Amino acid sequence: MNKQKRLIALILALAAGIMAFVPERMRAMDGVSAKSAILIEQHSGRVLFAKDAYTKRRIASITKIMTAILAIESGKMDDTVTVSARAVRTEGSSIYLRQGEKIKLRDLVYGLMLRSGNDAAVAIAEHVGGSVEGFVFLMNQKAAEIGMRDTEFANPHGLDDAENHYSTAYDMALLMQYAMKNKEFRRISGTKVYRAPAPPGEDGARVWRNKNKLLTSLYEYCTGGKTGYTKRAHRTLVTTASKGGIDLIAVTLDAPDDWNDHIAMYEYGFSHYHIAKVSSERVVDKISDPFYRGRLQAVRDLRYPVTDKEESGLRVKVYLLKLRKEWEKYPERAPTEVGKAVLYLHQKAVDSVPLLYEPGKEGSGRGFLWQVFRFLGVRSDG
């Protein structure tokens, strides 16, 4: 009996030892209720957490992120839209449009994102794409442009009316990353309450409160997002959050406890990652070639999300064009872009910025250079 107890104790000890070597990120996946989930850093797109993130699934109303960004990019946000019978008859969640009423496209996009109006989605599609079918073509065209390789759209709202309407958690994160580059999308996505003009014959205004509870009450760092639900897709959710200089995107598909899933992923991301940064000034200050020194500008800082352990593995490598003799005599003949600075995490390039030549600036002398292979240490404070 004692031998059996010792054997059990040994097995438990071995199991504990094995678990100690399993990355914390992998163990954290067990607590996420979603069938598919992903957490990425918004600017770099680095995946910080993933659970079955590349499986094609139904996506429900998070489809409307694509509908919204296409409407915004159309340049027609101040257009007046006449609501069709087809829009009014659309099933599911609604902002209760009336056939023949006239409403600004901008108001429709707010109703789409805050209240998930399926009628608004059809009205937007018909106005921007000429028809729902024409708009779906634009949706799939944009998906291909963004790199959403495992996505197909069949409608502008996400209802379960077609089999060929699906995406993945990863692809939806790519879509949100793309959309968040647009200032107007960020503003709409992060709006808690919006007032639109009342329908014809009514006083006051339509008041729409955002369905995204992370934004309105549950998570102080949430900056926006889109909810979704259908009987076949179940609960879907895309949100964004920012804290301490790091911006994150979370996606869950088929998640019974999606609010808590997103909070848990965000807390993991904020507690384990920070943005390591090399300022643009620091990059060019380290260039010693006499011709280029004092005449270069990096277009922005280098930045990448890392853990504390990873930070020591960051290096910057600067590459410059071979100097031509005529440039020494006629500096204005040098091209505008003369090189790049690349940030590496170990051997992998994770960010890069062009280096621009400014001939009007005084250099510190003359020189000849093929490439500069200079490594700079990286500090998170830049």
The answer to whether position 314 is within a domain reads: yes
Task: Label residues 234-259 b or e (16+ Cβ within 10 Å = b).
Answer: bbbbbbbbebeebbbbbbbbbbeebb
Do 238 and 352 belong to one domain? no
Q: In the annotation, is 116 catalytic?
A: yes
Pairwise pLDDT comparison (369 vs 363), residue with the higher score: 363
Task: Please tell me which residue in 36, 84, 116, 189 is annotated as part of the active site.
Answer: 116
Do 333 and 242 belong to one domain? no
The answer to whether position 194 is within a domain reads: yes
Q: In the annotation, is 33 catalytic?
A: no
Task: Please tell me which residue in 36, 61, 84, 167 is annotated as part of the active site.
Answer: 61
Do 333 and 256 belong to one domain? no
Compute how many other C-beta atoms are within 10 angstroms of the C-beta atom of residue 319. Answer: 16
Task: Please tell me which residue in 36, 51, 64, 93 is annotated as part of the active site.
Answer: 64
What pLDDT does 201 receive? 76
What pLDDT does 128 receive? 98
pLDDT of 153 > 80? The answer is yes
Do 280 and 244 belong to one domain? no
Beta strand segments in 141-202, E: 193-197
The answer to whether position 236 is within a domain reads: yes
Q: Average of pLDDT values for 267-278?
A: 96
Model confidence band, residue 6 (pLDDT cutoffs 50, 70, 90): low
Name the CA dihedral angle for 160, 162, 164, 166, rounded to a multiple of 10 degrees. Answer: -10
Name the percent of the chain lying above pLDDT 70.
86
Q: What's the count of helices (H) and strands (E) in the chain, helices before strands? A: 13, 16
Cα–Cα distances (Å) from 264 to 20, 30, 31, 368, 373, in that order, read 21, 11, 8, 54, 41
pLDDT of 379 > 80? The answer is no
What tens digit of pLDDT does each residue of 163-200 get? 999 999 999 999 999 999 999 999 999 999 999 988 87
Model confidence band, residue 20 (pLDDT cutoffs 50, 70, 90): very low
Name the percent of the chain lying above pLDDT 90.
73
pLDDT of 19 > 50? The answer is no
If phi over 0 gives left and psi between -120 and 50 gives alpha, with beta otherwise, what is residue 271?
Answer: alpha
Model confidence band, residue 21 (pLDDT cutoffs 50, 70, 90): very low
- Both structure tokens of 208: 């729409």
Question: Of the candidates 272, 303, 323, which is a domain's last residue?
Answer: 272
Q: In the annotation, is 64 catalytic?
A: yes
What pLDDT does 373 receive? 39
User: For the domain that residue 158 is a member of, what is the CATH number?
Assistant: 3.40.710.10
Name the CA dihedral angle for 156, 162, 166, 172, rounded to a multiple of 10 degrees. Answer: 10
pLDDT of 214 > 90? The answer is yes
* SS3 state at 99: coil
What pLDDT does 131 receive? 98
Total domains in the chain come to 2
- Annotated binding residue at 5? no
- Residue 150 belongs to what domain range? 25-272
What pLDDT does 138 receive? 98
Q: Average of pLDDT values for 109-124?
A: 98
Mean pLDDT, the chain, rounded, equals: 88
User: For the domain that residue 323 is a member of, what is the CATH number?
Assistant: 2.30.140.30
pLDDT of 351 > 80? The answer is yes
Model confidence band, residue 380 (pLDDT cutoffs 50, 70, 90): very low
Q: Average of pLDDT values for 108-122?
A: 98
Pairwise pLDDT comparison (205 vs 239), residue with the higher score: 239
What tens digit of pLDDT does each residue of 316-338 get? 999 988 888 888 778 788 888 88
